[in-house]
């Protein structure tokens, strides 16, 4: 079963069961500073999981683009990737009736029954063998009791009791962060071994999972609890269902492949990689395919390489792609050609790839070229250090610091810190440093390599802990965006966008937005640095609208009606057949600002306070950034 048919069957199945089909949101979360990327289908739906009314009702389904970087070191095995598509269906609110009939909410009974039906039905589903299914449920702890209810429902639909395993919170509890909706889940695993594993004890099942002989293919989350600052504090005002099935893993199972990289979602990319390579290395092929695919979707949704936040992640995976491409003997400049193969797979599904095709190609070419210059500088620094050690050993040159200069050392031995600082300053990977030393005739024993690598990794770990601490401080609070200040900044962002258009012209377009309780950040398309006069004009316009205490209103319209109002909408195809439009003014026709938006907002602009631009700067070619505060 090809990937497009998997998408179609999933959406059709839930559409016939009263679900409205909503398009994928961007991989860049809108107005949510708690995560860098959309990591699950539920992220765009947080306001509705917390009790807000969705324009399309209580039952929703879609295929959501997601990016998760925590497993980047696992990419190259059978099942891990950094970009993936999540098939999901949701129930927003308590069940309308015990059997779930109608348009109202539903809970465990319906979610589990439908999951099982879709997985095993040959006529309307995926036709999987029920004898190869294994199920896990939450074992219970101080937060919530053991989920016997889900286990009993699984037994009622045909799963034997000895194929249902109770696992702790680390396995069967889903939470997106330190704050927000959460709850126990039940997960579906499929036996992908050649002969079939049969009945397994709990320990045998966990071992088979570790060996990737069983693969998780679906997850039903029952969101009825709320977490604050890392602790479960009680139950939500409503019960929600949030399910997710990874398209890549389903394709692997349904196409009878040994890895996701053998499916139709990857083989065209791998074929192009092999056509360019002069060496064979399956792991390297997979890393290049995964990283280029992820980079393409990042760029299409407005992310550009930089040294911070999302831009840093994009830069990191492109640089990793360059290094692994080099191990395959792929010529410089070929990554852009590989990126074009991603467009060929997905352009019919995600039109934003076609819209951004030129930008994607230019970005990949530019970043690869920049990194190769960085590598050349790293080699020069390495040569300088080696020269100094060879010809001036008495000077004890020592360790290279991160600024690129030299600091005194206590001996003439290369250290892991030297290699880490070379990596930090010039992006020069450890293994490449060792390779360069060996190419220059340096004889390094395996014992010395092990010592240097341990020292290098120790320095890396210390740096990562510092970075993580900073990130946790920056993004603490889990799913954000609904505090009083964040709501005010959300409305101020709408005013800012319209004011920028008034001052700079219609060429201004939103390229990204980030809101915290301390400030707003707004990225927009504009070719030149703003003058002090232009910034002052923007401030004056926003503050004038705040002083006028203009009402902020919301209407729900059909997509066609909403577009006819000329309301701004940014992330293409994010919204469904009905959309929420916020406008600032007494009526829609004469509104100062109107945008497609899920909210939340203040009721009158007079609630905002005084608006002040604190910084205006370049982010990338043709993209500017404004940071502003409300005083």
| Cα(27)–Cα(352) distance, integer angstroms | 12
State percent of the chain over pLDDT 70: 87
Which residues, including other chains, have CB under 8 Å from residue 359's CB and lie 6 or more apart? 299, 300
Which CATH number applies to 3-262: 3.30.930.10, 3.40.1710.10, 3.30.420.40, 3.30.980.10?
Answer: 3.30.930.10
CA distances (Å), origin 80, targets 83, 84, 216, 249 = 9, 9, 11, 9
Task: Quick: pLDDT tens for 225-245.
Answer: 988 777 888 888 888 999 999
* Residue 316 pLDDT class (50, 70, 90 cuts): confident
> pLDDT at position 434, please?
80
Q: Is the pLDDT of residue 371 over 60?
A: yes
Identify the CATH class of 484-630: alpha beta
Q: Is the pLDDT of residue 391 over 80?
A: no
113: Cα within 13 Å, side-chain hemisphere: 10
- 109: tokens are 């009974």
> pLDDT at position 34, please?
63
| Cα(35)–Cα(26) distance, integer angstroms | 13
Spell out the domain ranges in the chain.
3-262, 277-374, 392-475, 484-630
Task: Quick: pLDDT tens for 66-92.
Answer: 999 887 878 989 889 999 999 999 999
CA distances (Å), origin 243, targets 64, 106, 183, 496, 523 = 12, 12, 12, 37, 33
Cis bond before residue 600 (omega within 30° of 0):
yes
> pLDDT at position 143, please?
86
Q: Is the pLDDT of residue 467 over 70?
A: no
| Cα(218)–Cα(188) distance, integer angstroms | 5
* Residue 390 pLDDT class (50, 70, 90 cuts): low
Task: Quick: pLDDT tens for 488-518.
Answer: 898 999 999 999 999 998 888 888 788 877 8
């Amino acid at each position: 079963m090809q990937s497009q048919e998997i998408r179609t069957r999933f959406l059709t199945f839930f559409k016939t069961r009263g679900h409205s089909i909503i398009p994928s949101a961007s991989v860049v979360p809108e107005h949510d500073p708690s995560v860098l990327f959309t990591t699950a289908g539920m992220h765009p739906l947080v306001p509705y999981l917390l009790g807000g009314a969705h324009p399309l009702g209580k039952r929703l389904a879609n295929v959501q683009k997601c990016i998760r970087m925590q497993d980047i070191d696992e990419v190259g095995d059978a099942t891990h990737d950094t970009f993936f598509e999540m098939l999901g269906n949701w129930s927003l609110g308590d069940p309308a009736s015990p059997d779930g009939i109608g348009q109202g909410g539903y809970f465990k009974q319906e979610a589990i029954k439908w999951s099982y039906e879709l997985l095993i039905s040959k006529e309307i589903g995926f036709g999987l063998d029920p004898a190869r299914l294994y199920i896990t449920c939450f074992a219970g702890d101080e937060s919530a009791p053991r989920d016997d209810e889900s286990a009993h429902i699984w037994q009622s639909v045909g799963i034997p009791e000895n194929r249902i395993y109770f696992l702790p919170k680390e396995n069967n509890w889903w939470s997106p962060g330190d704050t927000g909706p959460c709850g126990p889940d039940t997960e579906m695993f499929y036996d992908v071994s050649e002969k079939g594993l049969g009945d397994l004890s709990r320990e045998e099942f966990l071992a088979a999972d570790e060996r990737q002989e069983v693969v998780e293919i679906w997850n039903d989350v029952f969101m009825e609890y709320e977490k604050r600052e890392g602790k479960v504090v009680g139950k939500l005002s409503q019960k929600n269902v949030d399910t997710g099935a990874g398209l890549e893993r389903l394709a692997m199972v349904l196409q009878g492949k040994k890895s996701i990289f053998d499916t139709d979602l990857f083989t065209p990319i791998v074929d192009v990689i092999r056509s360019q390579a002069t060496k064979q290395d399956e792991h390297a092929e997979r890393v290049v395919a995964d990283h280029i695919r992820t980079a393409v979707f990042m760029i299409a949704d407005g992310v550009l390489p930089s040294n911070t936040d999302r831009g840093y992640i994009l830069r990191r995976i492109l640089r990793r792609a360059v290094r692994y491409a080099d191990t395959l003997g792929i010529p410089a400049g070929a990554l852009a050609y590989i990126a074009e193969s991603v467009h060929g797979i997905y352009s019919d599904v995600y039109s934003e790839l076609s819209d951004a095709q030129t930008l994607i190609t230019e970005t990949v070419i530019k970043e690869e070229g920049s990194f190769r210059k960085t590598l050349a500088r790293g080699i020069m620094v390495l040569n300088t250090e080696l020269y100094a050690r060879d010809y001036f050993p008495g000077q004890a040159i020592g360790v290279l610091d991160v600024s690129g200069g030299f600091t005194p050392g206590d001996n003439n031995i290369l250290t892991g810190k030297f290699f880490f600082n070379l990596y930090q300053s010039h992006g020069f990977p450890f293994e490449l440093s060792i390779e360069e030393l060996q190419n220059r005739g340096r004889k390094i024993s395996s014992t010395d390599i092990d010592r240097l690598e341990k020292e290098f990794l120790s320095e890396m770990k210390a740096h990562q802990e510092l970075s993580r601490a900073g990130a946790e401080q920056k993004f603490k609070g889990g799913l954000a965006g609904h505090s009083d200040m964040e709501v005010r900044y959300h409305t101020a962002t709408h005013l800012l966008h319209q004011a920028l258009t008034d001052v700079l012209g219609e060429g201004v377009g939103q390229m990204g937005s980030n809101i915290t309780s301390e400030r707003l950040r707004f990225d927009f398309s504009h070719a030149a640095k703003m003058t002090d006069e232009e910034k002052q004009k923007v401030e004056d316009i926003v503050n004038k609208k705040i002083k006028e205490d203009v009402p902020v209103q919301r209407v729900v319209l059909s997509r066609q009606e909403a577009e006819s109002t000329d309301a701004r909408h940014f992330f293409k195809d994010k919204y469904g057949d009905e959309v929420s439009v916020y406008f600032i003014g007494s009526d829609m026709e004469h509104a100062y600002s109107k945008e497609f938006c899920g909210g939340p907002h203040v009721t009158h602009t007079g609630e905002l306070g005084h608006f002040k631009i604190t910084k205006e700067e370049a982010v990338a070619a043709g993209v500017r950034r404004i940071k502003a505060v409300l005083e």
